[in-house]
Structure formats: C-alpha cells, structure tokens
C-alpha cells in the first residue's frame, strides 16, 4: 500500500522517574489525549518506563549498585500488568502506540533489556524489539537484544519500523527497515546522553546527532521519521541527587535531545523546544514516500542484489530451550494478553 494521510504524535515528555506504575499512568493519560486529538499514532521516548538510567554516565560503577537494584525492581515484564495497561489504553483510544520500556526477564532476576513495544489499535503487541547493542555506559545496565523485533509491521497507518537511539546509526539495522518497505519510522531517544564534561570543547552534541541520524534515515529510506525524546525534570534530578553535585551539574548542562517529525526528503516539518514537555503532532501523507523513490530506491532499483547479500536472524534468544515448546513470536494478540492477566498466578 502507498498509504493514507495519518496524524502522528511524538510525546516529548518526562516519565515519573524510577516509578514504573506512575510512568504507565502518565503514558495512558497521554495516549488518551493524543487519541482525542485525532492522532493515529503516538511515540514515546526510549525507556520511558521507568525512565532512562543516567547514573552510569556520571558515577563510578562501584557507587551504582543501589540505583541498579532499584531500576531492576521498576523494570516490567512482557507480557505483564503494566504492559497490559498500556495495551488497554491503546485499545480504548483506537491508537497505535510505540513506547520504550526497561524489560525484566523471567530467566534472571538481574537481566534487563532496553525494549521498544509497538501496540496496535486493538491493544495487541505488534512488535517487541530489544535494543541490539546497549551503547557506551548503557552496557552497565542492559543486556544485548536479538533480531526478533528487527522488522517492519503492516498497519492501517502505514508500514512501521522502529529503532532505539544509537541503532539509528547502525546502517545494517536501518537497511533491514528499508528492505521491508518501511514508510513510517520511529526513533526513540533519552533526554540527555552525557559522554563528556559539557564544558569541554569536544562535548557531544546530542541534539545535532539526533538531527543527523533522523535526517539521514528519512532521506535514505524515503520515509517519515517520528523522533521521540524525553526531558529531564526536577523529579529526575531529585532521584539522582545522591550522586552528588558534580554529577548533577553534568546532567543539567549536557545537551538535550529534541523531538521532531521529518518528511521523506529528510526535512524537519515539526520540532519541539528541547526543555519543554509537549505532544508534538503533524499530519503526514504516506503517498509522499513514492516520488522520492524515483531518485534512490535502496529496496528497489537503486541497489545491486546480485552483488550484495544481507540476512537477519529473527530468533528470540534465550538461555535455555525446552523440547516441544511453541516457537517464539514477536507478536501477542490482545486476547492473549487479557488471558495472561486473568491467570491466578499472573501477579506473582
């Protein structure tokens, strides 16, 4: 399908930091608000539930055990009650939802993933993507993901793909989206990503990096790109206050991430103020993805499939396999989620 006109929304907002239940409540309220505005899709930032782990960037690992333990406790299972609540909100609003979570595991009490979920209008989980490689200091928190969620999903709002933060720099991950006919891309980011002392001449400019990545993928893939970044609010700073004033100064003064929406020519058509929370919306026409393909169609004529070979392993990786178990799937219907919550032991 070439696709209809759809209204998209990037939630440039802060979670209730380190509180999964309250962050989910915030997300559900904003899902309802976006639906009331007539949006077909809302995209939330990276690790919105329960917030992005900033402490490994500004404090030595030996001082971070308590924060890691608290973060694991606030990470959520898929499926699980918090995710089901998000699915109910999507179903009630008839809106597609992309949201970043820190995902807990039944295989380990300390293994978590940086995950993005795509939830359909009917409340089903359309895609469950774990970030392939935690970036830089994120390795102190999250495990590496797998290829099960490296996919484009067909919806009535277009063919949707999604990548998390630094994955939008990975040319092979991006090409996997392009080669499956992506029309609408979702890029999720944290509020700030400290890599240097912000007073240094070589300080990392996150806003510039986001614009480069977003523009590059929109232009190369000939897709619309919805970029959702979070913000640092006072609660975040209060929770991280035990790290000390020097650490907080780095967080306060490091460049912020913007949220934006770009067209298939790589042009920004809507952008937020980086420090102000808002729902950024734009109406897009997926038909606009067609003509730019005349110039460079990387999944069509502008490629040499006789020269280049590329494959993606979509197995869901696990520490153990059980004979006779059903094959892993990246999709869960709303009925399956509802049944899971109805089990007597679901809350355990």
Q: In the chain, what are the domains?
A: 5-342 (3.60.110.10)
Catalytic residue check, 276: no
Exposure string for 184-208, b = 16+ CB within 10 A, e = fewer? bbbbbbbbbbbbeebeeeeeeebbe
Tell me which of 95-104, 115-124, 190-199 is least confident. Answer: 190-199
Catalytic residue check, 131: yes
For residue 237, name the pLDDT band (cuts at 50, 70, 90): very high
Residue pair 130/147 in contact (Cβ under 8 Å)? The answer is no
Q: Locate tokens 């929109």: which residue?
A: 218
Catalytic residue check, 28: no
Using the predicted structure, report yes or no on whether residue 243 has a pLDDT greater than 50. Answer: yes
pLDDT at position 334 is: 84
Q: How do strand 158-164 and strand 184-189 relate by DSSP bridges?
A: parallel
- DSSP single-letter state for residue 161: E
Q: Average pLDDT for residues 310-331, to the nearest whole number? A: 78
Residue pair 104/70 in contact (Cβ under 8 Å)? The answer is no
Residue-wise pLDDT for 15-61, tens only, equals 999 999 999 999 999 999 999 999 999 999 999 999 999 999 999 99
Instruction: Compute the distance between CA of residue 142 and CA of residue 123 in angstroms, rounded to an integer.
Output: 27
SS3 125: strand
For residue 330, name the pLDDT band (cuts at 50, 70, 90): low
Share of the chain above pLDDT 90, in %: 84
Residue pair 127/149 in contact (Cβ under 8 Å)? The answer is yes
pLDDT at position 9 is: 98
By C-alpha distance, which of 142, 87, 257 is closest to 188? 257
Write down the catalytic residue from 28, 87, 165, 289.
Answer: 165
Handedness of CA 203, 208, 210, 215 (dihedral sign): negative
Using the predicted structure, report yes or no on whether residue 345 has a pLDDT greater than 90. Answer: no
pLDDT at position 1 is: 44
Write down the catalytic residue from 28, 39, 46, 289.
Answer: 46
Quote the distance between the C-alpha of residue 279 and its chain's center. Answer: 16
Instruction: Compute the distance between CA of residue 117 and CA of residue 13 in angstroms, rounded to an integer.
Output: 17
Whether the upstream peptide bond of residue 79 has omega within 30° of 0, thus cis, is yes
Residue pair 294/246 in contact (Cβ under 8 Å)? The answer is no
Residue-wise pLDDT for 157-204, tens only, equals 999 999 999 999 999 999 999 999 999 999 999 999 999 888 887 778
Write down the catalytic residue from 103, 131, 138, 222.
Answer: 131
């Amino acid at each position: 399908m070439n696709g209809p006109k759809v209204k998209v929304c990037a939630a440039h907002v802060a979670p209730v930091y380190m509180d999964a239940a309250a962050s989910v409540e915030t997300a559900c309220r904003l899902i309802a608000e976006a639906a009331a505005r007539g949006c077909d899709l809302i995209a939330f930032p990276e690790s919105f539930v329960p917030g992005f782990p900033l402490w490994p960037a500004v404090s030595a690992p030996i001082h971070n055990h308590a924060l890691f333990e608290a973060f694991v406790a606030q990470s959520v299972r898929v499926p699980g009650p918090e995710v089901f609540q998000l699915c109910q909100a999507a179903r009630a609003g008839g809106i597609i939802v992309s949201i970043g979570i820190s995902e807990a595991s039944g295989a380990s009490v300390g293994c978590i993933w940086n995950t993005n979920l795509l939830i359909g209008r009917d409340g089903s989980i359309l895609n469950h993507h774990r970030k392939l490689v935690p970036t830089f200091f994120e390795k102190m928190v999250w495990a590496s993901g797998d290829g099960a969620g490296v996919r484009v999903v067909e919806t009535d709002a277009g063919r949707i793909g999604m990548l998390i933060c630094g994955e939008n720099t990975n040319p092979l991950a991006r090409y996997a989206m392009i080669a499956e006919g992506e029309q609408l891309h979702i890029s999720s980011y944290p509020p700030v990503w400290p890599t240097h002392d912000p007073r240094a001449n070589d300080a990392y400019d996150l806003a510039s990096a986001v614009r480069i990545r977003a523009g590059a993928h929109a232009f190369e893939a000939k897709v619309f790109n919805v970029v959702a970044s979070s913000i640092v609010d006072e609660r975040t700073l209060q929770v991280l206050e035990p790290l000390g004033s020097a650490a907080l100064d780095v967080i306060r003064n490091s460049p912020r991430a913007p949220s934006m929406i770009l067209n298939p020519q790589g042009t920004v058509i809507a952008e937020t103020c980086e420090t102000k929370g808002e729902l950024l919306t734009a109406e897009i026409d997926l038909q606009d993805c067609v003509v730019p393909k005349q110039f460079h169609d990387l999944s069509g004529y502008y490629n040499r499939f006789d020269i280049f070979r590329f494959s993606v392993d979509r197995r869901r990786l696990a520490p153990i396999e059980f004979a006779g178990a059903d094959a892993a799937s990246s999709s869960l219907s709303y009925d399956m989620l509802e049944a899971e919550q109805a089990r007597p032991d679901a809350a355990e």
